Amino acid sequence: MVFLINIPLFIDHEIFPFKIKFVKRETVKTDYGKIMCLKFVPVVQEGRVFKDEDDMHLWISDDANHVPIRIQSELIVGSIKIDLKEYKGLANPLAIVK
């Protein structure tokens, strides 16, 4: 089940509509082990940088911290993948699957 969330963003003295889709819960394999995550797909503008409006994926830890774990995107000129490399000082334990 996909949920669409509308968030008004205030950037450079203007309000922009921002849409993000919650897709599913997913376990992501990382350097720290497998982490339970919430998977989101921000709706991006296609044509300038992104091929399609659903080309960016964002995984946030499914715990009280909500730490960004991974961002992955297909671009017109290639692709990009960003993984969390270090964390410290979290208020709660990270959702690592044992």
DSSP string, 12-67: TTEEEEEEEEEEEEEEEEETTEEEEEEEEEE---BTTTBSSTT-EEEEEESSSS--
pTM of the model: 0.79
Q: For residues 55 and 19, which has the higher predicted lDDT (pLDDT)?
A: 19
- The predicted structure's pLDDT at residue 26: 95
- The predicted structure's pLDDT at residue 47: 62
Percent of the chain with pLDDT strictly greater than 90: 43
Where on the phi/psi map is residue 70: left (φ > 0), alpha (ψ -120 to 50), or beta? beta
- The predicted structure's pLDDT at residue 14: 84
pLDDT digits (tens, 9 = 90+) for 23-51: 999 999 999 899 999 999 887 666 666 66
